[in-house]
Structure 1
């Protein structure tokens, strides 16, 4: 259960980071989601 929450948190962080990178530059290669 705790492991699932941790993995969901990691995925959420990746999505947020991807969104920030897309906002900074239009290089979609930085994001594979």
Structure 2
């Protein structure tokens, strides 16, 4: 697993809790923007 995947696991959980209406695809896009 690369560094992004490790970071994204925790960040995805947190974002999903904060914004439960977001679909997984939207969360993935947002995580990609934050990572850059």
Q: Specify the TM-score bucket, using the shorter chain as the normaliser.
A: 0.3 to 0.5
Q: Which has the greater radius of gyration?
A: 1
User: Normalising to structure 1: TM-score of the pair?
Assistant: 0.44
User: Normalising to structure 2: TM-score of the pair?
Assistant: 0.43
Structure with the bigger RCO (C-alpha within 8 Å, sep 6+) is 2
